[in-house]
């Protein structure tokens, strides 16, 4: 199984270090979810892998541009072109023509549910439809590597399900997929997770590994919680403790708790 | 309300382009309209050709500035009517007086509208029979004949800077520039593909406006069409380059329009298009000489009205060509930088080698 990715990658914008010595593998047939708060470095990592920002140090190991499907944060569709014209343009740039294009267009339109909107301008599509079009554009040449920057942000739950179905199918078909997301329930469905914070790797591994490797443990808050170490999940408060869990209890119940706990642990160690 | 006012001031302070417009524009307009907005010509460049030029020169009102050095260099005293006509055509002077005729004939360059109007008025004040006036290239001193050739350049500038920069910034604003950057397209393909439509549309506009000018306003087309086309193409590269440069320095279409307006406005006011450069103080007119539209006005009016050829227009062609190379190259390099970070090719290459 071949893998692309980055080794000890550092990216700086002027004096700001956006990524600091980040290493990551993106493997064929897997979805790697990159999670982290605002300014964590998710987009910078993806853009560096796509070659859109230069590495200040370290190395990027990525296929040629013709083997990458990229979906930027802002969807990256041409709003003044129709759905069909968007597909025509990107297919032409990717060298997909003739019968191959016809077959892929039909399949992608069916998968995205955009068959009835082929003549509509991309700018007139709903947010979810536009994201699905952007995914279709990234997939038109069936690239071995897919780089998706928050593909489901701002998308309704039904469209998120559709997008995930397509992303999973691409992975099943052998694509190496790296996607940034702010939805940790989504990240939990990924093969592996990379948690970034302030441009550094906080945790990495399968979702189960990440949850198992949280420093300390997360528990339901009892009584008046310590505000600095507590957060609300639905009607319940959770609290993080640096102490090891007792009686073999789980360190975190889910990925969201794990990421918050890891972030608090880092803040505590830096304090 | 206090909070609202405070917020607005804070936002304005951080919006450097708007601040520049708020501060620089009033100063620019004050300077231009205070010093440059002047239709009154105080000096008219003049040559006297033929024998007895000294006596004729002595009779001329002070307004007429006879260039003695140029006259000596070109042996004006030995010249004839054809010499006089050639000097006007080649824009060597706004007024050329031919002393080989009786009485002497003053040839006025009608393409220099304000100079010709002033010269005509001043010569008419001379005693009867002192000089015969012949206005060349624009006998009725029609304003439209002078404005239309310059207007072609203004339209090209508008398309080249504002429309092109808006089109390019739209890609950045919609996130599609990033998409283009990671598609397997050569930066040159993207740049040419983005600019070519604007070049073609601007060229079409140039043809349409020229034809309409000739058809509706009877503007003569006395020169070489091909030379006019070449001049237009060079000028287009300059203004398209400016448009691309603006786009690389703008994040939004509103920013691009602001910057483009700050480039467009001095061209309208200081290129000699409306206010004659010769009527401006030197401290202001030098600005006009670094603006591309100034040289286009020379070329366009020269070819259309005077039928001037490359031999006389080459200085304007040369300046525009240098501007085109410098500005367009800088623009393409900056745009290319946005599309392909310098180290990308290296890392992509090494990774491909590794696969």
pLDDT of residue B342: 47
Q: What angle do CA B45, B50, B55 make, to 5 degrees?
A: 75
- Please check whether residues B105 and B167 belong to one and the same domain: no
Is A18's Cβ below 8 Å from some Cβ in B? no
Rounded-to-integer distance, Cα B243 and Cα B264, Å: 11
User: Could you tell me which residue, B89 or B31, shows the higher pLDDT?
Assistant: B89
Bridge partners (DSSP) listed for residue A178: A32, A147
Give residue-wise pLDDT tens across range B252-264.
Answer: 888 888 888 888 8
Q: What percent of chain B has pLDDT over 90?
A: 35
Q: Find out whether A40 and A21 touch, Cβ atoms under 8 Å.
A: no
- C-alpha distances in Å from residue B60, one per residue of A28, B107, B114, B130: 90, 14, 18, 10
Torsion of CA A6, A7, A12, A15, to 10 degrees: 160
Most confident of B72-81, B228-237, B265-274: B228-237
Cα–Cα nearest to A79, from A15, A11, A127, A12: A127
User: Is residue A60 within 8 angstroms of chain B, CB to CB?
Assistant: yes
| Alpha-carbon gap, residue B18 to B22, rounded angstroms | 6
What pLDDT shows up at residue B346? Answer: 45
Residue B7 lies in a domain: no
DSSP secondary-structure letter at A113? T
- B261 in any annotated domain: yes
Residues B68 and B86 in one domain: yes
Question: pLDDT per residue over A234-246, tens digit each?
Answer: 888 888 888 888 8
Which pLDDT does position A2 carry in this prediction?
Answer: 64
The residue with tokens 């890891």 is A262
Check CB contact of A57 with chain B, cutoff 8 Å.
no
**CA A177 to CA A29: how far, in whole Å?**
8
Distance in angstroms (rounded) separating the CA atoms of residues B349 and B354: 9
Asked if residue B19 belongs to a domain, the reply is no
Contact by Cβ (8 Å): B169, B247: yes
For residues B53 and B161, state if they share a domain.
no
Contact yes or no for B115/B137 (Cβ under 8 A):
no
Kindly state whether residues B131 and B158 are assigned to the same domain: no
CA separation for the pair B347, B355 (Å, rounded): 12
Instruction: Give the DSSP H or E segment for A147.
Output: strand A145-149
Q: Considering only CA atoms, give the Rg of chain A.
A: 20
Question: ipTM of the predicted structure?
Answer: 0.82
Question: Of B136, B170, B191, at which residue does a domain stop?
Answer: B136
Whether B130 and B150 map to the same domain: the answer is no
User: Edge to edge, what strands does the sheet with B44-49 contain?
Assistant: B64-66, B44-49, B95-98, B105-109, B132-136
Q: Is residue B21 one of the residues assigned to a domain?
A: no
Identify the pLDDT of residue B34. Answer: 79
Q: Would B324 be classed as within a structural domain? A: yes
Model confidence at B349: pLDDT above 80: no
pLDDT, residue B341, reads 61
Angle subtended at Cα B55 by Cα B62 and Cα B61, rounded to the nearest 5 degrees = 15
Cβ of residue A70 closer than 8 Å to a chain B Cβ: yes
If you ran DSSP here, which 8-state letter would residue A124 be given?
A: G
pLDDT at B348: 47
Tell whether B100 and B211 lie within a shared domain: no
A161 contact B CB<8A: no
Q: Does the N-terminal peptide bond of residue B200 adopt cis geometry, omega within 30 degrees of 0?
A: no
pLDDT of residue A68: 93
pLDDT tens, residue order, chain A (271 aa) = 567 999 999 999 988 999 999 999 999 999 999 999 888 999 999 999 998 888 999 999 999 888 999 998 877 899 999 999 999 999 999 999 999 999 999 999 999 999 999 999 999 998 889 999 999 999 999 999 999 999 988 788 888 888 899 999 999 999 999 999 988 988 999 999 999 999 999 999 999 999 888 888 888 887 777 778 888 888 888 888 888 888 777 788 888 888 898 888 888 877 6
Q: Which residues, in sequence order, are CB contacts of A271 under 8 Å at separation 6+?
A: none
The residues near A52 (Cβ < 8 Å, ≥ 6 apart) are B178, B181, B182, B341, B344
Q: pLDDT digits over A204-257, tens only? A: 999 999 988 888 888 888 777 777 888 888 888 888 888 888 877 778 888 888
How far apart CA B330 and CA B343 sit, in angstroms, is 19
Q: How far is A17 from chain B (nearest CA, A)?
A: 17
Q: What is the rounded distance in angstroms from the CA atom of residue B39 to the CA atom of residue B43?
A: 12
Q: Determine what percent of chain A is predicted with pLDDT higher than 90.
A: 59
DSSP state of B24: H
Residue given tokens 């006025």 in the structure block = B108
pLDDT value of position A1: 54
What integer best gives the mean pLDDT of chain B?
Answer: 86
- pLDDT per residue as tens digits for the range A93-116: 999 999 999 999 999 999 999 999
Nearest CA to CA, how far is B249 from chain A (Å)? 17
Domain total of chain B: 2
Q: How far apart are CA A25 and CA A194, in angstroms?
A: 10
Asked if residue B45 has pLDDT above 50, the reply is yes
pLDDT at B347: 45
User: How does residue B232 score in pLDDT terms, banded at 50, 70 and 90?
Assistant: very high
> What length does chain A have?
271
Same domain for B88 and B226, yes or no, is no
A37, A180 Cβ separation under 8 angstroms: no
Count CA within 13 A, CB hemisphere, residue A237: 12
- Minimal C-alpha gap between A72 and chain B (Å): 7
> Which secondary structure element, helix H or strand E, spans residue A263, and what is its range?
helix A255-270
Q: How far apart are CA A16 and CA A5, in angstroms?
A: 22
Nearest residue of B to residue A94, measured between CA atoms? B184
Asked whether residue B74 falls in the same domain as residue B102, the answer is: yes
- Tell whether the model's pLDDT for residue B351 goes beyond 50: no
Contacts of B337 (CB under 8 A, 6+ apart): B248
**pLDDT per residue as tens digits for the range B154-172:** 989 988 899 889 988 988 8
SS (H, E, C) A185-238: HHHCCCCEEEEEECCEEEEEECHHHHHHCCCCEEEECCCCCCHHHEEEECCEEE
**Domain interval for residue B82:** 44-136
> How many cross-chain Cβ pairs, A to B, lie less than 8 Å apart?
78
Alpha-carbon distances, residue B136 vs A232, B65, B88, B181 (angstroms): 87, 19, 8, 55
The pLDDT value recorded for residue B107 is 94
pLDDT mean over B344-350: 45
Which residue, B175, B159, B350, is CA-closest to B239? B159
Assigned domain for B351 exists? no
For tokens 């040839």, the residue is: B107
User: Cβ of B182 and A68 within 8 Å?
Assistant: yes
- Looking from the CA of B317 toward its CB, the CA atoms found within 13 Å total 15
pLDDT at B355: 37
CA angle B61, B50, B101 (to 5 degrees): 85
Residue B5 lies in a domain: no
Mean pLDDT of B76-99: 88
Q: Are residues B261 and B298 in the same domain?
A: yes
Kindly list the residues from chain A whose CB atom is less than 8 angstroms away from the CB atom of residue B182. 50-52, 65, 68, 70, 147
Domain shared by B76 and B106, yes or no: yes
Residue B221's region, left for phi above 0, alpha for psi from -120 to 50, else beta, is beta
Assess whether B147 and B127 both reside in one domain.
Answer: no
B195, B240 Cβ separation under 8 angstroms: yes
**Statement to judge: residues B97 and B191 lie in one domain:** no
Residue B342, chain A, CB below 8 Å: the answer is yes
Identify whether B14 is part of a domain: no
């Amino acid at each position: 199984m071949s893998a692309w990715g980055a080794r000890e990658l550092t990216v700086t914008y002027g004096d700001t270090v956006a990524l600091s010595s980040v290493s990551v593998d993106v493997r064929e047939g897997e979805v790697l979810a990159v999670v982290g708060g605002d300014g964590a470095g998710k987009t910078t990592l993806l853009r560096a892998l796509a070659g859109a920002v230069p590495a200040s140090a370290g190395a990027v190991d990525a296929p040629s541009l013709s083997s990458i499907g990229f979906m930027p944060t802002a969807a990256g569709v041409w709003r003044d072109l129709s759905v069909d014209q968007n597909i025509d343009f990107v297919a032409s740039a990717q060298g997909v023509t003739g019968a191959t294009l016809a077959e892929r267009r039909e399949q992608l339109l069916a998968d995205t549910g955009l068959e009835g909107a082929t003549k509509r301008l991309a700018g007139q599509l709903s947010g979810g439809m536009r994201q699905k079009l952007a995914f279709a554009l990234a997939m038109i040449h069936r690239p071995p590597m897919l780089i998706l920057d928050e593909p489901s942000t701002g998308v309704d739950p039904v469209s998120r399900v559709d997008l995930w179905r397509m992303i999973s199918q691409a992975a099943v078909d052998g694509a190496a997929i790296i996607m940034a997301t702010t939805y940790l329930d989504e990240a939990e469905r990924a093969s592996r997770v990379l948690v970034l914070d302030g441009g550094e790797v906080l945790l990495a591994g399968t979702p189960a590994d990440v949850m198992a490797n949280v420093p300390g443990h997360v528990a339901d808050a009892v009584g008046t919680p310590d505000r600095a170490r507590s957060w609300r999940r639905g009607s319940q408060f959770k609290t993080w403790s640096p102490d090891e869990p007792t009686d073999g209890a789980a360190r975190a119940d889910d990925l969201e708790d794990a990421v918050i706990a890891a972030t608090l642990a880092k803040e505590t160690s830096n304090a | 309300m206090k909070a609202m006012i405070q917020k607005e001031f804070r936002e304005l302070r951080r919006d450097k382009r708007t601040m520049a417009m708020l501060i620089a524009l009033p100063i620019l307009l004050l300077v231009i309209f205070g010093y440059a907005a002047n239709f009154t010509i105080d000096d008219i460049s003049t040559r006297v050709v033929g024998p007895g030029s000294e006596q004729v020169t002595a009779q001329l009102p002070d307004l007429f500035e006879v260039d003695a050095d140029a006259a000596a260099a070109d042996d004006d005293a030995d010249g004839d009517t054809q010499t006089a006509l050639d000097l006007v055509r080649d824009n060597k002077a706004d007024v050329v007086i031919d002393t080989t005729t009786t009485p002497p004939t003053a040839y006025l360059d009608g393409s220099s509208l304000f100079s010709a109007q002033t010269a005509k008025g001043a010569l008419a004040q001379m005693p009867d029979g002192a000089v015969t006036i012949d206005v060349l290239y624009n006998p009725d001193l029609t304003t439209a004949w002078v404005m239309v050739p310059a207007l072609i350049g203004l339209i090209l500038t508008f398309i080249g800077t504002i429309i092109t920069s808006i089109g390019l910034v739209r890609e950045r604003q919609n996130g599609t520039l990033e998409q283009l950057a990671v598609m397997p397209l050569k930066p040159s393909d993207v740049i040419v593909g983005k600019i070519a439509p604007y070049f073609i549309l601007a060229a079409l506009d140039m043809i349409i406006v020229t034809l309409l000018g000739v058809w509706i306003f009877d503007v003569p087309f006395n020169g070489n069409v091909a030379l006019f086309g070449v001049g237009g193409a060079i000028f287009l590269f300059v203004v398209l380059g400016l448009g691309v440069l603006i786009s690389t320095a703008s994040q939004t279409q509103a920013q691009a329009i602001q910057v483009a307006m700050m480039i467009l406005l001095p061209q309208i006011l200081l290129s000699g298009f409306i206010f004659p450069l010769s009527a401006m103080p030197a401290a202001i007119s030098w600005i006009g000489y670094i603006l591309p539209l100034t040289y286009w006005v020379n070329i366009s009016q020269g070819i259309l009205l005077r039928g001037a050829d490359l031999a006389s227009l080459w200085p304007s062609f040369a300046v525009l060509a240098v501007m085109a190379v410098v500005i367009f190259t800088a623009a393409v390099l900056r745009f290319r930088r946005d599309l392909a970070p310098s180290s990308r090719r290296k890392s992509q290459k090494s990774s491909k080698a590794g696969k």
